[in-house]
Amino acid sequence: MRIGVLGGTFDPPHLAHLVLAAAARQALTLDRVVLVPAGDPWRKAGSGVSPAAERLALTRAAVEDMLPWAEVSEIEVRREGPSYTAETLEELRAEAPGNEWWFILGWDALADLPNWHGPERIIELARLALAQRGGEAAEGALPPEAVEALPGLAARVDRVPIPRLDVSASELRLRLREGEETAPLLPAGVRELIAARGLYGA
């Protein structure tokens, strides 16, 4: 089985996350995509991230609404301490041995990958599905800082073309606080759960 892993804060999960998961599935003929909300996102320490249980519930609502071939993993929410991608991939592979794995990420994340915990282990455990928007970089190019720091990186990257979507979680949180419209950028199930629980000041 071919499985993609899409990690994120998902605070809240929005259309761009879903489009990325769907694009990776199509481009790489994945059988399923696992969305993994970060429990304790160490790269965002001190940034006021919403509680993990809330983000997990919202991500489940997004998947149930829009992605019948996807699933949501609690693996990082259950884990104590920082959420490290290398550990997550090791656990997922142990739970489902014999599969092919892709870790889905964007250009900025790939450029920053050398600063992550165990980047060499990440590219050993999974191929990298690089989401690339039109005009983002020259065809075939990779972030030079990542290529220099991680020998063999280029051979582990598969490209996933995605449309350019002007949407961000921070912008959506602001819209929710101010009572502005968030459809269709937030799936209906996510909007309903936010309203029911009074999240983000909605």
Instruction: Tell me if 86 is assigned to some domain.
Output: yes
Instruction: Tell me if 96 is assigned to some domain.
Output: yes
Instruction: Tell me if 158 is assigned to some domain.
Output: yes
37 and 59 in contact (C-beta within 8 Å)? yes
Domain total in the chain:
1
Instruction: Tell me if 181 is assigned to some domain.
Output: no
The β-bridge relationship of strands 32-37 and 70-72 is parallel
Instruction: Tell me if 173 is assigned to some domain.
Output: no
pLDDT given at position 164: 84
8 and 20 in contact (C-beta within 8 Å)? no
Q: Is the pLDDT of residue 49 over 60?
A: yes
Distance CA 74, CA 79 (A): 9
Q: Each residue of 173-194: pLDDT tens digit?
A: 999 999 999 999 999 999 999 9
Instruction: Tell me if 198 is assigned to some domain.
Output: no
Q: Each residue of 57-105: pLDDT tens digit?
A: 999 999 997 899 999 999 999 998 888 999 999 999 999 999 999 999 9
133 and 162 in contact (C-beta within 8 Å)? yes
Instruction: Tell me if 200 is assigned to some domain.
Output: no
Q: Is the pLDDT of residue 38 over 80?
A: yes
The strand pairing partners of 33, in sequence order, are 4, 70
Task: Please give the backbone phi and psi of residue 25, each rounded to the nearest 5 degrees, phi first.
Answer: -60, -45
Instruction: Tell me if 103 is assigned to some domain.
Output: yes
Q: Each residue of 110-139: pLDDT tens digit?
A: 999 999 999 999 999 999 999 988 655 555
CATH number at residue 155: 3.40.50.620
Distance CA 33, CA 68 (A): 10
The parent domain of residue 113 ranges over 2-165
Arithmetic mean of pLDDT, 11-27: 97
Q: Please report, rounded to a whole number, the percentage of residues in the chain having pLDDT higher than 90.
A: 83
pLDDT given at position 45: 54
Distance CA 171, CA 161 (A): 24
Q: Please report, rounded to a whole number, the percentage of residues in the chain having pLDDT higher than 70.
A: 94
